[in-house]
Amino acid sequence: MINVSKDNPRGIVWIASYPRSGNTWTRAFINGLTRIMEDPDAEDIDLGSVSQWSVSERLLTRYTPFLGKPATAATPAEIAAVRPRVQASIAAAAPGIVFVKTHNANGKDFGVPLINKAASAGAIYIVRNPLDVAISYAAFSNASIDEAIKTMATEGWGIQSTAESARVISGSWSQNVASWTDHPNPAVLAVRYEDMLDRPDSTFARIARHIRLKPNNSQIRRAVAMTDFDRLRAGEEKSGFAEKPNTADTFFRAGRAGQWQETLSPEQVATIVADHGRMMARFDYLPPEYRTASAGGAKRLDSAAKRRHGRSR
């Protein structure tokens, strides 16, 4: 569970993930559940309220007071240096716990932590099969699948600052997942996107318990139904969604697991396994032919890794 005082709960609860892994869906569920618990008559999710309800630590306007100059004039190292203070200010300004979206790895940028642990109460980390992430990220960024695969394998990868947003350092898919899950922490709950799809009631109930909410089963089911993927997509079609970039046709694209089996070539699958096989094995994402339960599967995994290293030289 998140680490907060019972009498005065404070601090950031990170909703963390690699891009295109279910971050927004998770935030929508928590937003919907809290609304239902406060108002039994609540029926529909407002996508606009999801973005406003959870805080962004990327807004450059948050950085300017700590830089002594416009954030747009700051170097990446200067942005990194004040990031912990920005996060501390977010926690201090909130009347209670505050939910903050991040695609940052739980690591460092210019030697400075990307996540201020002193300002944090805990996190929910959503992990998704990289075979499906590659397809979703390609569509989201208007890139080819091969380009998305290359991005996902790039260690230290990030998005540079824009006129409005601070830089993001996601790292490779494996780096991102490892940074949040390598060292077990009771305040950090790791959730598989696929379990959110296949077992929504029990999986979202775990999320609710982790953030110390006490909904009944009916409230969980209502929140799950309210934030069903088809309803989120219909809401976007009706009213738009502020988090959709210009590069994407839609934000809520497909919302299902296993797309890779219909879309990726055997070579693309092999490349992703070569890049991320060890971490995929941890979360049961390896295709059957790569699973290490047999000597043959182990050999194929090692062979894929060798192809990756040969490709990178």
What whole-number distance in Å separates Cα of residue 215 and Cα of residue 54? Answer: 20
CA atoms within 13 A on the CB side of 200: 20
Q: What is the pLDDT of residues 9-29, one digit of tens each?
A: 999 999 999 999 999 889 989
pLDDT of residue 56: 87
Query: What's the DSSP call for residue 155?
Result: T
Q: What is the pLDDT of residues 94-115, one digit of tens each?
A: 999 999 999 999 999 999 999 9
The answer to whether residues 308 and 275 touch, using CB atoms and an 8 Å cutoff, is yes
Poorest-pLDDT segment among 34-48, 50-64, 201-215, 240-254 = 240-254
Contacts of 40 (CB under 8 A, 6+ apart): none
Asked whether residue 295 falls in the same domain as residue 198, the answer is no
Per the structure, how many domains does the chain have?
2
Asked whether residue 165 falls in the same domain as residue 214, the answer is yes
What whole-number distance in Å separates Cα of residue 301 and Cα of residue 292? Answer: 8
pLDDT of residue 305: 55
| Residue type present at position 158 | G
Helix, strand or coil for residue 29?
helix
Higher pLDDT, 24 or 305: 24
Q: Is residue 254 part of a domain?
A: no
Reported pTM: 0.88
Residue 168, beta-bridge partner list: 159
Orientation angle between helical segments 200-210 and 23-38, nearest 10 degrees: 80
pLDDT of residue 306: 57
Asked whether residue 101 falls in the same domain as residue 19, the answer is yes
Q: Provide the CATH number for the domain around residue 144.
A: 3.40.50.300
- Buried-exposed string 154-180: b where 16+ CB fall within 10 A, e elsewhere: eeebbeebeeeebbbbbbbbbbbbbbb
Asked whether residue 171 falls in the same domain as residue 276, the answer is no
For residue 258, pLDDT over 80 is answered with yes
Last residue of a domain, one of 216, 249, 282: 249
Q: Is residue 83 part of a domain?
A: yes
pLDDT of residue 57: 93
Asked whether residue 70 falls in the same domain as residue 129, the answer is yes
Asked whether residue 284 falls in the same domain as residue 239, the answer is no
**Unique residue bearing structure tokens 């903050």:** 100
pLDDT of residue 291: 87
What whole-number distance in Å separates Cα of residue 176 and Cα of residue 21? Answer: 12
Q: Is residue 48 part of a domain?
A: yes
Q: Is residue 258 part of a domain?
A: no
Mean residue pLDDT of the chain comes to: 88
pLDDT of residue 44: 75
The residue range of the domain holding 281 is 265-313
The band of 312, judged by pLDDT with boundaries at 50, 70 and 90, is very low
Nearest CA to 20 among 201, 210, 217, 245?
245
pLDDT of residue 232: 74
Asked whether residue 87 falls in the same domain as residue 234, the answer is yes
Q: Is residue 3 part of a domain?
A: no
Q: What is the pLDDT of residues 22-60, one digit of tens each?
A: 998 899 899 889 999 999 888 777 666 666 677 889 999
pLDDT of residue 244: 44
Asked whether residue 231 falls in the same domain as residue 272, the answer is no
| Residue type present at position 287 | P
What whole-number distance in Å separates Cα of residue 187 and Cα of residue 1? Answer: 5
Q: Is residue 133 part of a domain?
A: yes
Last residue of a domain, one of 193, 225, 249: 249
Q: What is the pLDDT of residues 113-158, one digit of tens each?
A: 999 999 999 999 999 999 999 999 998 888 999 999 999 999 999 9
Contacts of 249 (CB under 8 A, 6+ apart): 139
Q: Is residue 6 part of a domain?
A: no
Asked whether residue 157 falls in the same domain as residue 110, the answer is yes
What whole-number distance in Å separates Cα of residue 45 and Cα of residue 223? Answer: 9
Asked whether residue 164 falls in the same domain as residue 295, the answer is no
Asked whether residue 131 falls in the same domain as residue 200, the answer is yes
Residue 36 burial (CB < 10 Å; 0-12/13-18/19+)?
buried
What whole-number distance in Å separates Cα of residue 90 and Cα of residue 8? Answer: 16
pLDDT above 90 covers what percent of the chain? 71
Query: What's the DSSP call for residue 252?
Result: S
Nearest CA to 255 among 196, 170, 173?
196
Most confident of 77-91, 241-255, 292-306: 77-91
Last residue of a domain, one of 201, 218, 249: 249
Asked whether residue 60 falls in the same domain as residue 106, the answer is yes
Q: Is residue 256 part of a domain?
A: no
